[in-house]
């Protein structure tokens, strides 16, 4: 897995990991990937965490009650960030979720905030797969120009988008929900450069139960 993805992102400046919030397994997969990558190089990582928590990221994982969570503030992601901070590498972590209220404002704000951190090191972004899509979308009759599409136009071949998709199991997004059978093969995959099937997943856990 590591070697395959590493080869795919060779020469890329920005790599998006589009995920399904609220699982135990996806953050653990990401943690394993970055632990291996850190043996070879330094990099930047951007998380879909409000920018106001940049100075104290751990506070983000304490403020929300479980029933009010979309899964972004899971204990697994807190452990991932702690692991990154413990690695013997210069890994810069950034919070890039903007204050925009509308979908358009959020996508444009995400793109703007991410571009600030694209430099000589590879920059990785972990966020929901809708944001990471390289193509425009229509969801529930609403047309969306995702952050991934905005940055793909700007960065061209320097950007690479990966979808981490589960094949079955459960996740937490304002309650425990079931993965739909066959969802790992849906047409949404066409919006990404590479698909990684993480297999069966289970709902995430929280610092504040």
Q: What is the mean pLDDT of residues 19-45?
A: 95
* 120 close to 87: Cβ distance less than 8 angstroms: no
- Examine the pLDDT at 71 and tell me if it is beyond 80: yes
What is the rounded CA–CA span in Å between residue 98 and residue 102? 11
Confidence of residue 103 (pLDDT cuts 50, 70, 90): confident
* 159 close to 192: Cβ distance less than 8 angstroms: no
What is the rounded CA–CA span in Å between residue 84 and residue 62? 19
Residue 89: φ, ψ to 5°:
-150, 160
Pairing between β-strand 43-50 and β-strand 92-97 as defined by DSSP bridges: parallel
Position 192 scores a pLDDT of: 96
- Which residue, among 86, 106, 75, has the nearest Cα to 203 in the 3D structure? 75
* 103 close to 111: Cβ distance less than 8 angstroms: no
* 116 close to 44: Cβ distance less than 8 angstroms: no
CATH class of 13-201: alpha beta
Q: What is the mean pLDDT of residues 102-110?
A: 91
């Amino acid at each position: 897995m590591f070697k395959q993805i590493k080869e795919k992102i060779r020469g890329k400046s920005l790599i998006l990991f589009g995920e399904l919030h609220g699982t135990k397994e996806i953050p653990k997969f990401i943690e394993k990937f970055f632990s291996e990558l850190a043996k070879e190089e330094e990099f930047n990582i951007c998380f879909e965490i409000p920018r106001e928590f940049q100075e104290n990221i751990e506070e983000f994982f304490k403020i929300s009650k479980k029933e009010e969570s979309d899964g972004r503030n899971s204990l697994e992601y807190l452990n991932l960030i702690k692991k990154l901070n413990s690695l013997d590498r210069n890994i810069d972590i950034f919070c890039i979720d903007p204050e925009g209220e509308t979908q358009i404002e959020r996508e444009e704000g995400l793109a703007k905030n991410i571009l600030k951190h694209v430099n000589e090191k590879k920059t990785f972004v972990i966020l929901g797969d809708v944001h990471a899509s390289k193509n425009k979308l229509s969801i529930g009759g609403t047309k969306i120009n995702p952050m991934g599409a905005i940055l793909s136009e700007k960065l061209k071949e320097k950007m690479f988008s990966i979808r981490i998709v589960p094949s079955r199991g459960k996740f937490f997004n304002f309650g425990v929900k079931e993965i739909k059978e066959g969802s790992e093969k849906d047409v949404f995959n066409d919006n990404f450069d590479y698909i990684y099937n993480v297999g069966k997943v289970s709902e995430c856990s929280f610092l504040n139960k």
